[in-house]
Amino acid sequence: MKRTTLTTAVMAGLTGMAGMMSVANAVNVNPDGLGQVLLYPYYTTRGGNDTLISVVNTTSAAKSVKIRFLEGRNSREVLDFNIYMSEFDVWTAFLQAEGDGAKLVTTDKTCTVPYFVGDGGGVGEVELRDFEFIDFEGLTPENVDGAGTGIERVKSGYFEILEMGVLTDETEGSATAATHVAGVPADCQQLVDAWTTLQDGVTPADPVTSYWVVDPLVDQDTPSGGLFGSASIINIPEGTMLSYNATAIDNWTTSISHTNSGFVTPRVIDGSVLTSAVFQSNSQSVDTQTWGDSREAFNAVLMNNKIANEYAINPAIGGLTEWVLTFPTKRFSVDPLVGVVDAIPPFSVVFNSDADRPGTSCEPVTFRLWDREELERTEEAPGTQPPRPSPLPPNPTPEISTFDLCYEANVVRFARASTDTSPAGTEILGENRFITLPLADNFIAGWTEFNFEPEEIPAALNFPADARTITNGQVDYVGLPVIGFQATTVSNSTLVVDGQNVLSNYGGTFNHRGSRRIDLAVD
């Protein structure tokens, strides 16, 4: 395939009002933050951090919801369960370190299956699990992926929330059971019993009370969306809180996908809608495309050819910056455990296939970096240039800077090369698997652009020119499906209150900005 980049005029002609009209039937990133699927790009329990979680049901209908936590190296699942939310409900919990691993803690009374809090209230706790990346008692050697078998893998990663259906009272009164009365659900035990089986995990413990084991569609209606969520990374010793909003994917499915808490489905690629809708700012239009499967449709709405954000590492104010870049669909393109033999576009490397870097799936990325006064990292410092006779020597070709993103949830650390101490974990998020971008001492604040386009990667790396592309035969989407944010903190211990120096640390997060590249697919 040859590619021709769509111009504004062509794009407007292809989509126009017809594209706008079809958005209601197409999976899309909802800029208003409400959706059927919520993607949270990062959690961490490293370096003294806890991660607080919230999800809100803004609708007047009860919801059946799946929450899934995935470790950050290869997206192996570390905890799944169901939440049954009352109308207008909020569910909250937090993740914290537990020995060499991590655990989820909640005091929220909203119904979960299993019900962690219980009818007596109090505190519910459950440890994150390592079963998907170890050989459990010699039964699962295929789970070992080269990225480590220690429980410490669960200490950081990302998570997702998926609406499985609208909860109703049609047969068994499930919505009423989940609905809060005086702040407490009417009967969470009914919903636990509905999924209760005999020891074989399949046969209902009682066909009458275990009605979801018999038929998971009982008291379920089509998902309607309206969920939003956020997370906060809190470091109490450092006195910082870094908060972000979840990315909301709407119109993901028109089908009920209600499953047991012990099931690893539905997944983000299991939506029933195969049409994507992507807003194009330059043409004020929406590009709608139909794809061969839901994985491609989901990828399409998250694809960026470039992302940009800021950095601030001024030592005078204790500035630190780290970026999170998460690929929430990468595992379905690179992990042999889900049946991948050859990497599936837009990703290019099967996980653990590089003998020199076991336990990785590394995607090369190019970047450009500027300070706040438009000086580019590859430029010489400003100065004088005396007159020279001609002919002048040719300008050298600028060196293209590259680095690799080798995991599902990646942390990029910005640091001054002259003073970098190469820590075991990053200073803000505590991440122990990270990339450092070393900067010259005069680059203490500015902005950076990461480029995912295959043509930008140096020829010496032998990167395939048709990589980073999904196509439906009409158009090519070029880039990678990515979400994430910039985290920056500053520390100032000179604040004096009543004659005493007071710890004065501050921090914030900022979503990445990006662009999209949509090419006409031409034979």
Angle in degrees, CA 430, 66, 247, rounded to 5 = 55
Please choose, from the candidates 460, 456, 509, the residue with its C-alpha nearest in 3D space to the C-alpha of residue 480.
456
Percent of the residues in the chain that have a pLDDT greater than 70, as a whole number: 90
Res 10 pLDDT > 80: no
CA distance 322 to 429: 8
| 8 A C-beta contact, residue 160 and residue 270 | no
Res 381 pLDDT > 80: no
Q: How do the domains of the chain map onto residue ranges?
A: 28-254+302-379+399-522
Average pLDDT of the residues in 210-239? 97
Segment among 14-18, 33-37, 48-52 with least mean pLDDT: 14-18
Q: pLDDT value at position 383?
A: 44
Q: pLDDT value at position 113?
A: 96
Q: pLDDT value at position 276?
A: 98
| 8 A C-beta contact, residue 343 and residue 334 | yes
| 8 A C-beta contact, residue 487 and residue 321 | yes
Average pLDDT of the residues in 114-129? 87
Which helix (H) or strand (E) segment is 302 a member of? helix 294-302
Res 438 pLDDT > 70: yes
Torsion of CA 281, 286, 292, 297, to 10 degrees: 60
Res 360 pLDDT > 90: yes
| 8 A C-beta contact, residue 333 and residue 340 | yes
Give the type of residue at 396. P
Q: pLDDT value at position 459?
A: 87
Segment among 58-72, 200-214, 391-405, 508-522 with least mean pLDDT: 391-405
Q: pLDDT value at position 377?
A: 75
142: which residues sit within 8 A by CB, 6+ positions away?
Answer: 336, 337
DSSP β-ladder status, 409-416 and 434-439: parallel
Joined together, the tokens standing for residue 5 give 């980049």
Across all residues in the chain, what is the average pLDDT?
91
Average pLDDT of the residues in 259-275? 96
Q: pLDDT value at position 282?
A: 78
Q: pLDDT value at position 385?
A: 53
Give the type of residue at 426. T
Strand partners of residue 247:
39
Segment among 101-115, 124-138, 454-468 with least mean pLDDT: 454-468
Q: pLDDT value at position 397?
A: 52
Q: pLDDT value at position 496?
A: 74
Helix (H, G, I), strand (E, B) or coil at 53: strand
**Cα dist from 100 to 46, 156, 404, 406, whole Å:** 10, 12, 28, 23
